Chain A
Amino acid sequence: MNKEELIKKLESAKLPKIELQSHRRQLRIALLNADYSERQPEVTISDLTKSKVRGGIEKMLRGLVSPRPVWKTALVTGLAIVLVFALAIGLPSLIGQSPELLAGEIVQNSPDVIAALGGDEVETVRILNIEDNMATVIVEGKMGGIVNALVDLYTKVVTEAVGGPQLTDEEKDKALNIATTDPRVQEVLDMGAVIDLVLPMYVTFSKVNQETGEIEEVTETWAQMWINLGNRAWGVQVDLIRGKVVSMTD
């Protein structure tokens, strides 16, 4: 290949715009609040963790803190400050009631959740995540049905309630086999932790069909499970197709 051909190749191999909107949004919030926090030195993480929303913040910290650089810390600080202000200004009715309790209350009274459970009553509500006033929860019905729901804590409405088929016994066994052979999972199980719940999760992504060259949207069924040890809990995502633990979060 001569130089001209190489230049042509370089000019034609353009990469289109690829972006992660969630990263763009979160980084913006973190940057703006990092700047804000510099001008408000009296607000610190330790102050925040002593506040009434300690539970919610700790939940965030569990999900966000990792051995990463400064921006991660700022991101956590930013989100924590946003949460405090959201609670103080946007959700005055919440003072004295934790976001977790509120999410549970909304879910229990939601006709959409009841419908997704096939008319069954809610037995337990597990809060997976609370961010930007949106709670991601898993609802278990008395008859064993499971619904994934998104709860808007500001408007107090369930915005999405999706029921779905459960994992087969074979899939559950496979998930457990994969998880229990993972060294990270083994480590906590050796400490006496127990696997509490195994549920499906659906992951959708684009894939090139090797035969036709067409881009297809593919949805795969993975498993998610909870491991409990006293007050500690871990979430584990298992890719059933590739046979590996994709993530484990304390």
Chain B
Amino acid sequence: MNVEKERELVERAKDNTEAFGELYDQYYSQIFGYVLKRTASIEVAEDVTSEAFFKALKNLRQFHWRGVRFSSWLYRIATNEIANYFTKSRPWQSSLEEVSNSMSFSDALTETELLQAEAELRRHEDFLTLHENISKLQPKYQEVIVLRFFEDKQLKEIGEILGKREGTVKSLLHRGLEKLRRLTE
């Protein structure tokens, strides 16, 4: 979607539910994928993605084009929600088993889909090993490393997402990689 079209869609979405649905269709996969790469848990990704989109819907009228793309704004909300997830004590912040316990009993199809997705995730051992080490870093390093290498974002866009200068992102990336290198030794 080009910038102009996206801008027009975002403006419409402020008063039009269907337009918000179009934005959701456009960005759901990206946001879910990003959260999954940060958390390595399908169920946490479900919850955090849901929170992020509800926050986006609630605050959409406050979004204005001031050099930050809508997609970057969504990534920023998702990044904040991930941070909230890991720092706040929430009743829904529970282990995988506890989360699965709260699922609807009869929704066997959903559960099968969940199990399949978890199995697919577990197949990617290289990713999971790296994630394990990345998750030991401070969040500021996790954010830049995941956005740069797993989301293929350029430094400028990472800066937009995180609200930091490009030079700061570059420096965080450099230090984050150094710390990660030591962890992987």
The residue of chain B having its C-beta at the shortest distance from the C-beta of A27 within the complex is: B50
Interchain CB contact under 8 A, B127 and A15: yes
Tell which of A10, A12, A71 touches B51, judged by Cβ atoms closer than 8 Å: A71
Interchain CB contact under 8 A, B42 and A15: no
Interchain CB contact under 8 A, B177 and A9: no
Question: A10-B130, A21-B113, A246-B100 in contact; A31/B57 too (CB < 8 A)?
Answer: yes
The residue of chain A having its C-beta at the shortest distance from the C-beta of B133 within the complex is: A6
Flag A137-171 by CB within 8 Å of B: 1 or 0 each: 00000000000000000000000000000000000
| B contact residues, total (Cβ < 8 Å) | 61
In angstroms, Cα B181 to Cα A206, docked, is 33
A190 at the interface (CB under 8 A from B): no
B167 at the interface (CB under 8 A from A): no
In angstroms, Cα B104 to Cα A248, docked, is 9
In angstroms, Cα B42 to Cα A3, docked, is 30
* Minimum C-beta distance from A221 to chain B (A): 13
* Minimum C-beta distance from A58 to chain B (A): 13
In angstroms, Cα B177 to Cα A2, docked, is 10
Interchain CB contact under 8 A, B42 and A18: yes
- Interface pairs (11), CB distance under 8 Å: A18-B42, A18-B121, A20-B114, A67-B92, A68-B47, A69-B47, A75-B50, A128-B105, A205-B119, A237-B105, A246-B101
Binding site for A on B (CB under 8 A): 17-18, 20-21, 24-25, 28-29, 32-33, 36-37, 42, 46-47, 49-51, 53-54, 57, 90-92, 100-124, 126-127, 130, 145, 149-150, 177-178, 180-181, 184-185
Q: A22-B109, A31-B24 are in contact. List 19 more A-B contacts (CB 8 A).
A: A3-B178, A9-B126, A10-B150, A13-B126, A15-B124, A18-B42, A19-B117, A20-B46, A22-B110, A23-B50, A24-B28, A32-B18, A32-B21, A34-B57, A64-B104, A69-B90, A71-B51, A224-B105, A247-B105
